[in-house]
């Protein structure tokens, strides 16, 4: 059964890619959806055996790379982390595949899109089940490829092309860090197998193990963990490498739901959680993780409050939730991070897929300012969007309430600067997240309509298949947190016994449960309520005040700063991208490719010998005495050099001959260029 879980998706992927155009949209969707759904069913059985039965399954499939003392096997590891991640991946993927059948049935290239949509799932299975870093890296790159293809599905749209290229380039930076981390791990441990690396981690965490770079010593495992985290930052869209995430919205609606909820973000959390035994011994590396997660959370929450694109608002909500998961890992709360990811898969996909019927009803209009009054026309979609908005802001007794508070409270009871920094940024971000979600609801569904009459007349709610899927996700957004809380993060649970290890000095979950003051526990709920109240007043009551504020220099500057996403794109373009482009043209292209390489390469050699042959041909006068004189002069010079070689060799370096030859070539080339 476990082998079937790993291999079941491969035939479906092959059929969708090779025969999709012959099977048509419906046939391709049927095959791929059946494969993913069967995989989900098998994973439920695996979940019972591995997680609930505390029975780890390890399968060594075949030898992969064997070179002297280096062995890398193709294997699959099923523990609690693996089965939880895979259930999230396959369940969300199967729902998105079903959603696709209804949402894009009229697209002429839907069979090709179904192939693109199916690609991330088998690569995620390879990444999550991999028992070595090479297999993880292959799955990692495959997910990135699937992201590029999915975003660029509408390749005739210029913005989709630009977004896909941007996604690929930004992810290259993170992938380069991950590759360096894997190489560093192999250099230190001489193996790529996870179980061996984690078994040796405590021994290699001593200060006497270091890398030497620029005559400076760097602690080896700290460097490896930071590089691995850079890889996670790229895929996980954390601050610095986050600029690609909003551009995913240029692709079709199912792309954002599948990529964000089931693949890309799962890849980042899976990698950090899998390597927790490396991070466990390095509090300095975890301070970096905590700080980056908290800053990304605050950045995304503040940026989303002034975005006007419906899908872009949801994208920045995604960024903020990713920040929660990252800083939960940074405070040794790995189980809570994975629990929040499982909850997030429901309450993230729900608003993303609910946005599809809204955009379709408004004739593909995504600007919220041009909507309004849709609550009476799309009551079911409004109800789904309301549930998907209340759950992530931590509304009491919904799914998000049970994981978000358990992330913030341990940050407070960590009693460190980084912990308090993360707690207060996270708490303030709850206010901004609540504001921009309620702003979305007010502008789209409750405010007076600003849309065209023809759009209002053609409005229709979600079709029956789409409605069933949204109801399933709404059920998860309401009940999953309550049902799974005690099992996954309850005190004394052994759910993670076959995967999770936390040093006793880092265990703070019990203290956060009983030692956190009540007022601290109430802060997230108070901020959520305040955000909803402010959103109502700003969008319905205080319109004149807000307009007057925006016309002032301070208000205009603040609006531009937040609406333009803290000018990250401008800074990257002006100071980094342009510098690289200038270097690529002036140095790499003109000086190297068209300069030194061509002159010293085939073109320079052929040109030099051609010119040399022309000059020598001019010496052919046809007179015998000229030839006799040249032979005499040459023989005299040769005999003189041979006779005085001991004296000459002391003053002349043989390497000068090469310099003379190259100089002669340049002189000839420059003379010819100036003549032409």
C-beta separation of 418 from 287 below 8 A: yes
Residue 671 has pLDDT above 60, yes or no: no
Average the pLDDT over 328-351 and give the result: 81
* 8-state DSSP, 369: G
In contact, 462 and 381? CB cutoff 8 Å = yes
Phi first, then psi, for residue 355 (nearest 5°) are -70, -25
Alpha-carbon dihedral angle through residues 297, 302, 304, 306, given to the nearest 10 degrees: 180
Distance CA 16, CA 113 (A): 10
Say if residue 9 is exposed, middle or buried (CB neighbours under 10 Å; 0-12, 13-18, 19+): buried
Interior/surface letters 390-400, b for 16+ CB within 10 angstroms, e for the rest? bbbbbbeebbb
511 exposed, middle or buried (CB, 10 Å; 0-12, 13-18, 19+)?
Answer: middle
* pLDDT mean over 70-78: 79
SS3 content of the chain, % helix, strand, coil (to 5): 75, 5, 20
| Pair 356, 472: CB distance under 8 Å | no
**pLDDT classification of 663: cutoffs 50, 70, 90:** low
Confidence at residue 652, expressed as pLDDT on a 0 to 100 scale: 65
Instruction: State the sign of the Cα–Cα–Cα–Cα dihedral 22, 25, 29, 32.
Output: positive
Q: Which run of H or E residues covers position 212?
A: strand 210-213
CA angle 42, 500, 406 (to 5 degrees): 95
Mean pLDDT of 648-666: 65
Beta strands 70-78 and 57-67 are antiparallel
Mean pLDDT value of segment 32-61: 83
- Most confident of the following: 320-324, 379-383, 495-499, 670-674: 379-383
Q: Which two tokens stand for residue 604?
A: 């320079």
Cα→Cα distances 274→268, 373, 523, Å:
10, 47, 32
361 pLDDT above the threshold of 80 = no
> Is the CB of residue 87 less than 8 Å from the CB of residue 43?
yes
Q: Count the alpha carbons within 13 Å of 389 in the hemisphere toward its beta carbon.
A: 28
Task: Tell me which residue of 429, 419, 425, 430 sits closest to 331, measured CA to CA.
Answer: 419
Tell me which residue of 86, 89, 108 sits closest to 21, measured CA to CA: 108
**Is the pLDDT at 108 greater than 70, yes or no?**
no
Q: Give me the pLDDT at residue 674, please.
A: 47
Q: Is the pLDDT of residue 619 over 50?
A: yes
Phi, psi angle pair for 219, to nearest 5°? -60, 125
Kindly state the tokens that stand for 551.
């016309």
Q: Say yes or no to pLDDT of 606 above 80.
A: no
Interval 430-479: pLDDT, tens: 888 888 888 888 888 887 887 777 777 777 777 787 888 888 888 888 88
How far, in Å, are 660, 665, 668 from residue 672 at the CA level? Answer: 18, 11, 6
Q: What is the pLDDT of residues 177-211, one digit of tens each?
A: 888 888 888 888 888 888 888 888 778 777 777 77
Please compute Rg for the chain using Cα positions: 31
Mind listing the pLDDT tens digit for each residue in 24-34? 777 777 788 88
Report the alpha-carbon angle 314-316-322, nearest 5.
Answer: 105
| Whole-number Å distance between alpha carbons of 460 and 483 | 34
**Residue 403, helix vs strand vs coil:** helix
The tokens of 639 are what? Answer: 């005999």
Distance CA 591, CA 542 (A): 60
| CA dist., res. 25 & res. 112, Å (int) | 8
Long-range contacts of 599-608 (CB under 8 A, 24+ apart): 599/665, 599/666, 599/669, 600/662, 604/665, 604/669, 607/668, 607/669, 607/672, 608/664, 608/665, 608/668, 608/669
Q: Is 294 in contact with 327 (CB distance < 8 Å)?
A: yes
- Residue 71 has φ and ψ, to the nearest 5°, of -125, 130
Which residues have CB under 8 Å from 670's CB, separation 6+? none
Q: pLDDT tier at 665 (50, 70, 90 boundaries)?
A: low
Check pLDDT > 60 for residue 296: yes
Exposure string (b/e) for 631-660, b if CB count within 10 Å is 16 or more? Answer: eeeeeeeeeeeeeeeeeeeeeeeeeeeeee
Q: Of the ranges 317-326, 552-561, 644-653, which one carries the lowest mean pLDDT score?
A: 644-653
Find the distance separating the first CA and the last CA of the chain, reported in whole Å.
Answer: 74
- pLDDT reported for residue 270: 80
Distance CA 547, CA 538 (A): 10
- How would you classify residue 501: left for phi > 0, otherwise alpha for psi between -120 and 50, otherwise beta? beta
Contact indicator for 342, 484 with CB cutoff of 8 Å: yes
Q: Are 140 and 127 in contact (CB under 8 A)?
A: yes
pLDDT of 78 reads 83
Contacts of residue 105, Cβ cutoff 8 Å, sequence gap at least 6: 25
- Specify the 3-state DSSP secondary structure of 61: strand
Residues above pLDDT 70, as percent of the chain: 90
Buried b (16+ CB within 10 A) or exposed e, 19-34: ebeebebebbbebbbe
SS3 letters across 588-631 = HHHHHHHHHHHHHCHHHHHHHHHHHHHHHHCCCCCCHHHHHHHH
d(CA 271, CA 285): 15
């Amino acid at each position: 059964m476990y082998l079937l879980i790993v291999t079941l998706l491969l035939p479906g992927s092959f059929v969708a890619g090779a025969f999709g155009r012959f099977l048509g949209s419906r046939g391709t969707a049927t095959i791929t959806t059946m494969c993913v759904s069967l995989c989900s069913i098998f994973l439920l059985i695996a979940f019972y055996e591995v997680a609930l039965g505390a029975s780890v399954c390890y399968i060594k499939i075949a030898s992969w790379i064997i070179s002297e003392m280096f062995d890398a096997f193709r294997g699959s590891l099923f523990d609690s982390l693996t089965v939880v991640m895979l259930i999230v991946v396959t369940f969300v993927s199967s729902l998105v595949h079903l959603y696709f059948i209804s949402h894009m049935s009229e697209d002429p290239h839907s069979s090709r899109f179904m192939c693109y949509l199916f690609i991330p799932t088998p690569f995620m299975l390879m990444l999550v089940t991999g028992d070595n870093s090479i297999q993880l890296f292959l799955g990692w790159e495959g997910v990135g490829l699937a992201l590029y293809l999915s975003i660029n599905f509408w390749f005739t749209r210029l913005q989709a092309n630009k977004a896909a290229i941007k996604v690929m380039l930004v992810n290259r930076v993170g992938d380069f860090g991950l590759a360096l981390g894997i190489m560093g791990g192999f250099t230190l441990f001489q193996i790529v197998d996870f179980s061996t690396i984690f078994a040796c981690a405590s021994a290699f965490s001593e200060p006497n193990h270091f890398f030497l770079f620029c005559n400076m010593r760097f602690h080896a495992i700290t460097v490896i963990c930071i590089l691995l985290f850079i890889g996670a930052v790229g895929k996980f869209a954390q601050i610095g490498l986050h600029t690609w995430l909003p551009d995913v919205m240029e692709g079709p609606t199912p792309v954002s739901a599948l990529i964000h909820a089931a693949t890309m973000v799962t890849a980042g959390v899976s990698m950090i959680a899998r390597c927790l035994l490396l991070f466990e011994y390095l509090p300095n590396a975890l301070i970096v993780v905590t700080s980056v997660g908290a800053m990304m959370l605050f950045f995304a929450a503040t940026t989303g409050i002034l975005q006007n694109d419906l899908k872009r608002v949801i994208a920045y909500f995604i960024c903020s939730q990713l920040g929660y998961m990252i800083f939960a890992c940074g405070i040794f709360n790995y189980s809570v991070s994975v629990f929040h990811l499982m909850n997030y898969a429901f309450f993230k996909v729900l608003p993303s897929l609910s946005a599809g019927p809204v955009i379709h009803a408004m004739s593909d209009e995504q600007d919220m300012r041009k909507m309004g009054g849709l609550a009476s026309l799309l009551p079911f979609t409004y109800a789904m969007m309301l549930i998907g908005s209340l759950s992530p802001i931590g509304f009491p007794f919904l799914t998000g309430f049970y994981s978000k508070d358990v992330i913030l409270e341990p940050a407070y009871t960590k009693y460190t600067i980084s912990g308090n920094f993360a707690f207060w940024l996270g708490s303030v971000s709850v206010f901004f997240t609540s504001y921009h979600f309620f702003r979305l609801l007010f502008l789209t569904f409750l405010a007076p309509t600003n849309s065209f009459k023809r759009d209002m007349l053609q409005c229709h709610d979600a079709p029956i298949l789409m409605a069933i899927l949204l109801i399933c996700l709404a059920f998860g957004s309401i009940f999953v947190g309550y049902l799974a809380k005690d099992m996954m993060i309850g005190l004394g649970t052994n759910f993670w016994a076959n995967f999770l290890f936390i040093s006793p000095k880092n265990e703070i979950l019990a203290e956060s449960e009983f030692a956190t003051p009540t007022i601290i526990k109430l802060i997230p709920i108070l901020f959520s309520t305040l955000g909803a109240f402010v959103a109502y007043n700003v969008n319905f009551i205080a319109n004149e005040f807000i307009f007057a504020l925006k016309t002032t220099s301070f208000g205009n500057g603040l609006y531009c700063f937040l609406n333009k996403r803290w000018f990250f794109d401008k800074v990257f373009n002006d100071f980094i991208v342009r510098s690289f482009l200038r270097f690529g043209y002036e140095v790499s292209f003109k000086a190297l490719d068209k300069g030194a390489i061509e002159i010293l390469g085939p073109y320079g050699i052929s040109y030099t010998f051609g010119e040399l042959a022309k000059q020598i041909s001019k010496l052919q006068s046809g007179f015998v005495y000229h030839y006799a004189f040249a032979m005499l002069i040459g023989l005299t010079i040769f005999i003189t050099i041979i006779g005085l070689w001991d004296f000459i060799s002391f003053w002349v370096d043989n390497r000068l001959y090469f310099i003379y030859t190259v100089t002669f070539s340049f002189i000839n080339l420059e003379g010819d260029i100036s003549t032409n």
